[in-house]
Amino acid sequence: MKKKTKVLLSLLLVLLLAIGCGIAVFQYTQSEQDVATIQKQTKKKPEKWNTKVEKADYQQDVDRPNLKDLAAFQQSKDYETWLKKAIGEIKIPSLHLQLPVLPGTNNHSLQVGATTYRENQRIGQGNFVLLGHNMGKSGVLFSDLNQIKVGDRIQLTIQDQQATYQVKEKKIVSEKEGQVLANTQDARLTLITCDKATKTTHRIVILANLVQA
């Protein structure tokens, strides 16, 4: 009787392990599908760059999405609506990164691409600041920004203007160090994202000089 009980318990344990592994595999597969969907969507661009910027886009709070929510948003009609707001794009060849640039940092624009920090930012005039989400997955939004190196080139297109910047510095700062957002006399590009794909108090900051406009 004891032997039969041990056998039954062993079988039950194996079954539970199998079910647990099955759930883990499903979750991993679903996560990879979400990443593939996001990578495909972020390469899209509108037929033409938007020239009308709405002030309201700069006046919203920001939450952190998860991969599942991000993938769902990028397959929705809302995504297509927000993509049409894009005013240009950013490319970092060394990271194989290509994202639309949207005016205003808010929940919707951050799920489409990189976003401008200030209204009326202009290439070649002061500090051009772009922000983006770090989702912890290669090829998704600004997740690869930690891999950029000093000397790498960044190509920026805003409406009818194009410019090339060269990375001069990469650093991690506290979220309270707001001076990296301040405007400057020299023409530069500043890219900012979280240093981790979880709740964090620090940011990765990339500083780049204008080399061609």
Phi, psi of 28 (to 5 degrees): -65, -45
Give the residue numbers marked as catalytic: 133, 194
Whole-angstrom distance, CA of residue 134 vs CA of residue 136: 6
Going from the N-terminus, what domains does the chain have, and what CATH number goes with each? 39-212 (2.40.260.10)
- In order of 12, 13, 42, 118, the CA distances from 3 in angstroms are 14, 15, 59, 73
**pLDDT for the residue numbered 114:** 97
Residue, of 71 and 56, whose pLDDT is higher: 71
Q: Give the per-residue pLDDT at 146.
A: 95
pLDDT tens-digit profile of 109-168?
A: 999 999 999 988 999 899 999 999 999 999 999 999 999 999 999 999 999 899 999 999
